[in-house]
Each structure stands twice: as structure tokens, then as C-alpha cells.
Amino acid sequence: MSNSDLTELTASRARVLLDKREISSVDLTKALLNKISDIDNSIKSFVTVTSDLAIKQAEKADKRIKENKIDGLTGIPVQIKDNICTSGVKTTCSSKMLENFVPPYNATIVDKLYDSGAILLGKGNLDEFAMGSSTENSYFYPTKNPWDMMRVPGGSSGGPAASVSSNQVIASLGSDTGGSIRQPASLCGVVGLKPTYGLVSRYGLIAFASSLDQIGPITKDVTDSALLLNTISGYDSKDATSINLKIPDYCKYLKEDLSGMKIAIPKDYFGDDIDSGVKKVVYEAIEVLKNLGASIEEISLSVMQQFALAVYYIIAPSEASANLSRYDGVKYGFSDRLNSEDLMETLYKTRQNGFGSEVKRRIMLGTYALSSGYYDAYYLKAQEAKRMIKSEYEDTFKKYDAIITPTSPTVAFKIGEKSSNPVQMYLNDVLTIPANIAGIPAISIPSGFSEGLPVGMQIISSRLREDTIFNIAYAYERATNWNKFKPNFDKLKV
Amino acid sequence: MSINEDEIIHIAELARIGMSDDDVKSMQVEMSNILEHFEVLKDIIVNKKEPLTLSDDLHSVTREDLDINKSSSTNDLMLSNAPDLQEGFIKIQSVFELQ
């Protein structure tokens, strides 16, 4: 098999070939490392490439396969977003603050991936501390969209989405606080799943907004999404919000029949603020679902449409302001002590010069919303609105199995187009935020193109109903094959 | 709702973030723009003051007070991230003034 054939493999296809000994994990890993060195100078989707570690892990995986000790991801090379701790491998959050931070421990999902025999190719670029929707807030460099190098890949998991889209990795792991897996997946034409809050351990995910953060897979197709979720989900005593339940084999929900499936289309999420090209694609996708047997009804979700964005931009920064108070220039990370006369000055200067502008803006917003005199006006009202949003979802899911919306209001936008206007940037998340607020699962899958750029459809279901999401997503993918379209790689060569 | 520069300076102190005069000016404009979008919440009546958690099994995470046998190399790795060390301890600037 040629190098380019190897890099095109999905995890499920690679699994078959590895198990039949038709390919080796070392060959697969080397092909991907070659691809990374060929094209990532221009895409910039990695912060760190772990070539030596990857080869060593691949050799071990090949040995394991020979001994028939095969698990779901044995020998499959993946990338991990650089806000997920990897023992002995730099974990920077794409921030100057953690530029040289080497975690002494693995996140639980990293242990699970390694135990399964997955190979770490490296760490994916992100908006600093996962705050952003374009990966332009990375301290190191913005990541480019493989479909158009003048455009952003979305964010904050822009590195993971761009690497999967350009076949530099088989799959990647991202984190999603307000859309950070789904929106870049949509903009890069790949599959991105935000699981139910608590289904995947957050231990070792560097905290941004703890009540909203969730780790999930970014993959080339829906089958791989289920395959990765099989490995990373499950109870973890180290995460107080981890749900204790038996994890099913998610691959068994990959079915092509949608008869009996009731799907709701919220008209509030197809308004004037959504690009007409995006709406057209998603309406066509809904027709496909109808033809597959699903019943479709229009509904209204006016509460979340009205409040979700404001709720998110109060709650997430509030939690961020507390979570990021640990960066003090003392224990680890950047420290401006040499330019400071005393401990207090070190603290102020470290945070002034170690954080980028978006991170500071959110810490300021959160500190304000939690401060005396404003707590009642902002934070408490946001919590109440969060309750209202959750109950609007619960009412909807009494009657319907799933909700369909576009994932992002636009296709990938130009680098620099929105970076000077924070509010405009925040509006990117309007369709993805509600699922985080309610803690429910949602996926973005490729659904076609507008202006030559990928459009994602979002499928949302109720808590722990990943089965419904996989069923609809898989049936749609099999009927359309939009995931098979790839950016033109010749243009990507340096 | 807008926020003035004095409030920005106060919030920056609470957040322990140093700011130049220019930083204060631009932060004032940006935060005022953002706060305008929060106005939609002003008519919401708060009924319940308990925080809304999304996990039904929320529990305190503690472990037994046992020696978990972490190797000294973990210690070294932890300490190697500190900006300044002395004799195996993290070194900081003095907290108390010398009399």
C-alpha cells in the first residue's frame, strides 16, 4: 500500500488491515509522520510532533498485534489537542503561560488510548486555553483550513480538525466547551462529537469552564467516532462529574434505517443570521433523513435562541476566571519574576504578559460577573436562564428523538476577518453553545458544500442518547458520502 | 450596560492582571460592547438559587490516606516545571519584609 493510501485510511479500515497483517502500525505511523513533515509547515495544525515516541509505540503495537492482544485502537495513530495532559510531552494550551509545561501525569483519556494501543503522533494547535472559534488565538501561530489556506479551520480545536481533514492523522481528540469540537469539524469537513457531559473523564484536561468542558473525538467518519468513544468513555473516580454506568459498544448503533425516528427542526436556528448557502445544504440534508424514514417536524426553541449566547458568555468566563487563577508564576509555567520587585508584582506581570488578549478579556468578564454588586445581575440570572434552556430541551425530547440544526452560521471565514471584533467571533458559537449548557450530546457531520467550502449538520439528542446520534449520523453518511470529499492536497505541498 | 475605566482598573486588580493605560482603554470598549449583549437577561426572575449541576452522581473525590508510592522521578518532574528552585523546594520572592 502506498504512503498516500495509508494516510487516507479511517481507523476502522486500518483496524481490519492491521489485524489481517496487510499493513503494519510502523508503516502507517511513518506514512503519517512523512505527511506531517510534508504539509504541516503550511497548515500548522501541530504544536508538537512526537515522532520518536510514535515509532516506539507503533513497534510495541505491532508486537501486540502479532501476539493477538488486540484492542479497539491498537496500532492506530492519533493526535491529541494540546490542552490534554500527556506525561513527559509538552502540553501548552497554545499559551505563552504553559509554553514549556511538561505534565508529570497523563489525562485519563490518554491512559485509556495508550492502554488500547493507540499511537500518539503529537499535540494539536488550539485557541489559547480553548478560548476562541478560529485558532487565531494560539500564542504560536494560527492554523490554516486545508480547504482554503486563506481561511480559518474554526476553533478552538482547529489543529485537530485541520489535521484530520488533511490526512495527517487517522483521528484526533478535542475538547468542546461551547462548540470547540463541532464548529471546527464543520468548517474542515470532518466528524466531531461532543459527548454527554460526564461520559468522558475530564481528568487531565486543562480546565477552562468545568461545568461545560467535555472531551470528544474528531474523525474522518461516523464509525470512527463510535470507535473512539468506545475507548475514551467510562467512569473515572478522579473526575467528580464522571457518570458511573456501563458503556455500551457504540458501534452497534451504526444502523442505516431511520424509520420511527422523530426529528425536530427548530425554525429559530434557521433565521436571517444563518448564511443562506449553509441553510440550503442543511435543508437538503433534512430531505435525505426524511427519505431514510425519519419523520420531520418544525418546532421553536425560542428560550435558548434568546438567552444561550449571553448565558454562555457569563458562565464560561466566570468559571475560567476561577480556573485560571492558578497561573501565578510560582509553581509552573511562565513567570515574570525577574522583572518584578516583589511577589505581588510577579503575579500581576506574569498574568499580564503570559496570557493573550482573549484570555484576559474572559478572565476580566468572569471576574466582573462574579464580583460583588454584579453577581445577582449576571451570574445568578445566567444560572436561571441555564435552567430554562435545560427544561426547553427536556420538553422537546419528550416528543422527539433528535434536533437538527446547522453547526455553524457560516462556512470557514477568512483569517483576520473577525479577530478584531470579539462579539462577532462569539456569534460563531450560537448554534453549538446550547448543547453544552444542557450537558447533552451533539455531533457535526459533513453535509455538503457552500461557496466550495464544507458545511456541517448538527445532530443533538438528549442526555446519554449517543445511540440516537450515531444512528442518524451513520444513516445519513451512508446515504450521501459527503465525508469522502477531501481538500486538494497538491495545493498543500510546501 | 457599559463599564467605565475605573471599574476596569478595579476588576483587573481583583483578577490580578497588570494593565497599561492603553490596555484599560481598549478593555473598557470591548467589555462594554460585550455587556450590551447580556442585557437580554435583565428581565429574568431568579427563582432558585441552588447551582444547576449536570451530573446526577456528583460526589466529593477523595482517596484513602495511603502512601500511593509515587516515585521520586514524579517529584522531580513536578518540580522541573517550577520557575525557580532551591534545595528541592519551589523558591519565591519574600512574602514578609525584613525588620
Q: Which of A239, A314, A364 sits opposite B27 (nearest CB)?
A: A364
Contact A331 B40 (CB under 8 A): no
Q: At A488, is the pLDDT very low, low, confident or very high (cuts 50, 70, 90)?
A: confident
Q: Which of B45, B60, B93 sits opposite A337 (nearest CB)?
A: B93
Mean pLDDT of A388-392: 95
Note the pLDDT tens digit of each residue in A59-69: 999 999 999 99
Residue A178 near residue A436 (C-beta atoms within 8 A): yes
Mean pLDDT of A112-119: 98
- Scanning every residue of chain A, which has its alpha carbon at the shortest distance from the alpha carbon of B77? A104
- pLDDT at residue A270, rounded to an integer: 96
Contact A102 B33 (CB under 8 A): no
User: A311 contacts in B (CB within 8 Å)?
Assistant: 41
Q: Helix (H, G, I), strand (E, B), or coil: what is residue A403?
A: strand
Asked about A156 being catalytic, the answer comes back as yes
Q: How many CB atoms lie within 10 A of CB A372?
A: 7
- pLDDT at residue B2, rounded to an integer: 83
- pLDDT at residue B1, rounded to an integer: 65
Between A249 and A494, the higher pLDDT residue: A249
Shortest alpha-carbon distance between residue B65 and chain A (Å): 15
Q: Which of A310, A360, A383 sits opposite B52 (nearest CB)?
A: A383
Q: Which residue type, as a one-letter code, is found at position A479?
A: A
Output B7-11 pairs: Cβ under 8 A, ≥24 positions apart: B7/A368, B8/A364, B11/A364, B11/A367, B11/A368, B11/A371
| Best to test chain A binding among B41, B75, B80, B95 (most A CBs inside 10 Å) | B41
Structural domains of chain B, ranges and CATH numbers in brackets? 5-41 (1.10.20)
Pairing of strands A77-81, A119-124: parallel
Residue A11 near residue A219 (C-beta atoms within 8 A): yes
- Scanning every residue of chain A, which has its alpha carbon at the shortest distance from the alpha carbon of B12? A364
> At a CB cut-off of 8 Å and minimum separation 6, what does A198 contact?
A239, A241, A242, A243, A439, B54, B55, B57
A210 lies within 8 A of chain B by CB: no
Residue carrying the nine cell digits 448565558: A311
| CATH superfamily membership of A1-239+254-488 | Amidase signature (AS) domain (3.90.1300.10)
What is the torsional sign of CA A422, A424, A425, A429?
A: positive
Q: At A494, is the pLDDT very low, low, confident or very high (cuts 50, 70, 90)?
A: very low
Q: At A415, is the pLDDT very low, low, confident or very high (cuts 50, 70, 90)?
A: very high
Q: Which of B46, B55, B92 sits opposite A380 (nearest CB)?
A: B46
Contact B83 A104 (CB under 8 A): no
All three cell numbers of A147: 480547504
Note the pLDDT tens digit of each residue in B18-47: 999 999 999 999 999 999 999 999 989 887
Contact A365 B83 (CB under 8 A): no
Asked about A180 being catalytic, the answer comes back as yes
Residue A287 has pLDDT above 90, yes or no: yes
DSSP A297-357: EEE--HHHHHHHHHHHHHHHHHHHHHHGGG--SSSSS---GGG-SSHHHHHHHHHHHHS-H
User: A348 contacts in B (CB within 8 Å)?
Assistant: 16-18
User: A240 contacts in B (CB within 8 Å)?
Assistant: 55, 58-61
Q: Which of A239, A333, A352 sits opposite B17 (nearest CB)?
A: A352
Q: At B62, is the pLDDT very low, low, confident or very high (cuts 50, 70, 90)?
A: confident
User: A340 contacts in B (CB within 8 Å)?
Assistant: 93
Mean pLDDT of A460-480: 98
Rounded to the nearest 10 degrees, the angle between the axes of helix A302-323 and helix A357-370 is 100
Residue A443 near residue A459 (C-beta atoms within 8 A): yes
A245 lies within 8 A of chain B by CB: no
Residue A369 has pLDDT above 90, yes or no: yes
Q: Chain-wide mean pLDDT for chain A?
A: 96
Q: Please name the residues between 254 and 273 in chain A that touch chain B, using a CB distance below 8 Å.
A: none
ipTM of the complex model: 0.92
Q: Which residue type, as a one-letter code, is found at position A461?
A: S
- Closest to A76 in 3D by CA, of A60, A87, A91, A94: A60
Looking at A24, A180, A450, A462, which residue is catalytic?
Answer: A180
Start-to-end CA distance of chain A, whole Å, equals: 24
User: B84 contacts in A (CB within 8 Å)?
Assistant: 335, 337
Note the pLDDT tens digit of each residue in A192-214: 999 999 999 999 999 999 999 99
Domain extent listing, chain A: 1-239+254-488
Contact B93 A240 (CB under 8 A): no
- Closest to A140 in 3D by CA, of A40, A232, A73: A40
